[in-house]
Amino acid sequence: MCPLRKGEKLGMVFQSKTIVLGVSGSIAVYKAAGLARRLNLLGANVHVIMTQNAAKLVSPLIFETLSGNRCITDTFDRNFAWDVKHISLAKAADIFVVAPATANIIGKIAGGICDDMLTTTICATAAPKVIFPAMNTQMYNNPITQGNISKLKNLGYIFAEPDCGRLANGDTGSGRFPEESKVLDILENILFEKKDLQGRKVLVSAGATAEDIDPVRYISNRSTGKMGLALARAAKLRGAELRLVLGENRLDESKIYGMEILRVRSAEEMYNAMTANFAWSDFVFMSAAVADFRPAELQENKIKKSRGVKSLELAENKDILLELGRRKLPGQKICGFSMETENLLENSVKKLEEKNADLIVANDVLQEGAGFGTDSNIVKILSRHGTESLDIQSKESLAHVIIDRLLALDA
């Protein structure tokens, strides 16, 4: 399970949401316990319903402790406050998640069978239903299972592709329960309601570029890629079709699931990727920290100390934002960034004008709580209409504000 780190804002959308977690008897049931805990930590109100088979594999007590709510296994259990439990949970659910889902439970749901609490409650709910199959590859590929999945998909049930890899019985194939971050990402996308970027194409650059000196050494900068990833995630949550041009970074790669990623290393590669995808895009966020210079010549072999090299000749890289600004067509909007250590406003206004950007998000990297590697940022947003100074906030929440401001220009 990915640990919940201090300051992590992943999953803001789970706050106060009622999540019914249906757990069936796959060997991956123990992973659902981690998921219940994580959702609980993210502020969700998690109610677990286990099938009898699941309860044979893992004690309901574990789910009860990790979710903070009574775990239901028996439709006829009278040992809780009186209400028609399957109906009250079905009504309260913001989302109904079946994870892990066996071929058997998928078959029962598809067949309209309601012979336990899980199948009865899912039949009664109007909430979005998301199913995470986890089983042996042959069972998953069996035409009966696939037929049941197709039937449910046509009825609006959402299915997550299982991962490929080594399964519990030693076989390798499709059927593994996905990584927790992938599960959270899928749920977050469904629960996030503001889909104001639906149908829009968003191109984001993130991270640093690395300019090779020789096969061992390179020039780069301190960018970790956090702000760019926050923008990419926010755009995706809001329904955008997304392409992320990702340079060198120090990101937790498990958090960048579910988007088209174009990996680049040098400023030249980033230039090529951004210009090639620019015509496709409606909105561009140029949040990468691009090296302004590269070594004039790439050395084929490692430079030996004995050569006594004391200086490095540099050549200037192309300015990607400047080029995109030149190519901008009516309707396209570009947001650039500005990293400064002095004369923040003056220098950033210049960038807004010279690079033909619609927005410049400017920050002083020396200010505590702003800049590289932090989870927060303190910025000024510049446009042709003026400058807005924002308070310190998480990069996740800032990403949404930046998108709001760009959308306002588009209105």
Positions marked catalytic: 221
Is there a contact between 185 and 258 (Cβ–Cβ < 8 Å)?
yes
Is there a contact between 24 and 98 (Cβ–Cβ < 8 Å)?
yes
**246 versus 267: smaller Cβ distance to ligand CTP:** 267
Draw the binding track, 259-298, toward ligand CTP (x: CB under 6 A; -: no contact).
--------x------------------x-x-x-x------
Which residues are registered as beta bridge partners of 77? none
CA distance 388 to 390: 6
Q: Which stretch binds ligand CTP (CB under 6 A): 78-86, 142-150, 296-304, 331-339?
A: 331-339
Q: Does 339 bind ligand CTP (CB under 6 A)?
A: yes
Cβ-based burial of 368 (10 A; exposed 0-12, middle 13-18, buried ≥19):
exposed
Nearest residue to ligand CTP on Cβ basis: 320
CB of 383 to ligand CTP, least distance (A): 14
Binder to ligand CTP among 336, 381, 394, 399 (CB under 6 A)? Answer: 336
CB of 59 to ligand CTP, least distance (A): 52
Q: Does 382 bind ligand CTP (CB under 6 A)?
A: no
For residue 74, give the H/E element and its range.
none
Selection from 254, 20, 38 nearest residue 131 by Cα: 20
Q: Does 338 bind ligand CTP (CB under 6 A)?
A: yes
Binder to ligand CTP among 39, 110, 320, 379 (CB under 6 A)? Answer: 320
Residue 403, C-beta contacts closer than 8 angstroms, at least 6 positions apart: 197, 231, 234, 235, 238
Query: In angstroms, how far is the first alpha carbon of the chain from the final one?
Result: 42
CB of 370 to ligand CTP, least distance (A): 13
**292 versus 404: smaller Cβ distance to ligand CTP:** 292
Q: Does 351 bind ligand CTP (CB under 6 A)?
A: yes
**106 versus 286: smaller Cβ distance to ligand CTP:** 286
Q: Does 175 bind ligand CTP (CB under 6 A)?
A: no
For residue 350, give the H/E element and its range.
helix 344-354
∠ CA 200-203-209 to the nearest 5 degrees? 170
Q: At how many degrees (to 10) do helices 226-237 and 395-410 cross?
A: 60
Interacting residues toward ligand CTP by CB under 6 A: 267, 286, 288, 290, 292, 317, 319-321, 336-339, 351
